[in-house]
Amino acid sequence: MTESPDVPNPATLFSLDGKVALVTGASSGLGHRFSRVLAAAGAKVALVARRVDRLTALADQLPDALVLPADLADPAAATHAVDACVAHYGQLDILVNNAGRSVTVPAFDETTEDFATTLTVNVTAAFTLAREAARTMTGPAGRGGVVINVSSILGIVGSGQIPLAGYAAAKGALVNLTRELAAQWARRGVRVNALVPGWFPSEMTGDMMTDDRSLAWLAKRTPMGRPGRPEELDGALLYLASEASSYMTGQLLVVDGGWTAI
C-alpha cells in the first residue's frame, strides 16, 4: 500500500528549516524551552532578554544563535532587537512575544507605576516587536511570517486567589491585540496567534511549583489534576510557528489541562 501523494510528511509539515525566529524572554523558563524547540525544528534563533550570561550559555547550545541583550521596559529596545536580528540574518520569519513581568500583590496595594510597567513589558513591547517584525515580513524582501503572542489563562479568566491585576490586564490586552493585528495583516501574509498556557513551571511560578499547598490547589482546580510539564507546550508552539497552521490567524491556542473549561 502506497502513501497518498497529498498527505504531507509530518516531519516536513512542522519543519522550520530556513526560518529565523526571534524569542523574547529567552533567558529562562518557557522562553528558554521555546528557543531550544524552535532550533531543534531547524530555525535560527535570536535570543532576547536582559541577562546576557544566561543568553550566552543558551546560545552555546544552539546552532547559529544570536544573543540580543535588551530590557523591553525601554521602548527603543524592541525596535533595536528586530533591527539587529534582520541585520544579522537578513530576514525574520517568526516572532515569539514571550517576555513577561508580574507583580503578585493585592490590587489595593499595587502601585500605578508597577501596573504601568507591567503593561509596558507585556503589551507595549509586544506590540512594538510585532509591528517592526511585520514591517520586515511584508517589506520588499519579505516572505510573510508568523507572530506568536504568549498570553496566559489569566488573560481570559480571573483568579482572585492569586492577586495579579496588572498581569491579568496585560495578558487580556495581548489576547485582543492578537485578534486585531491578525485582522489587519492577514492579507499581507502575516499570521498572528496567541499561545495561552495554564500553570507551567517558570520563574514566575517557581514558588508555587515547590509548595505543597499550592500544588494541591492547582491539582484540585485543574481537571487533569496537575500543572503542565514544559514539553507539553512543544507541539502547540511548533504548530503555530509552522505551515501546519497555515490557515489559522487571530486565534487562541489554550494549553491548560482543562482549567478554563470549567
Which residues are annotated as catalytic?
Answer: 167
Sign of torsion over alpha carbons 208, 214, 216, 218: negative
For cell 520588499, the residue is 140
H-helix or E-strand containing 152?
A: none
Q: Amino acid identity of 248?
A: M
Query: CA–CA separation, 214 vs 227, rounded Å?
Result: 10
- CA pair distance 192, 40, nearest whole angstrom: 22
Phi, psi of 90 (to 5 degrees): 85, 5
Closest CA to 259 of 174, 179, 159, 167: 159
Cβ density class 128-163: b for 16+ within 10 Å, e for less: bbbebbbebbeeeebeebbbbbbbbbbbbeeeeebb
Whole-angstrom CA distances from 225 to 161, 197, 204, 213 are 18, 15, 20, 14
Cell reading at 254: 489554550
> Which residue, among 167, 79, 66, 191, has the nearest Cα to 127 in the 3D structure?
79
d(CA 191, CA 63): 26
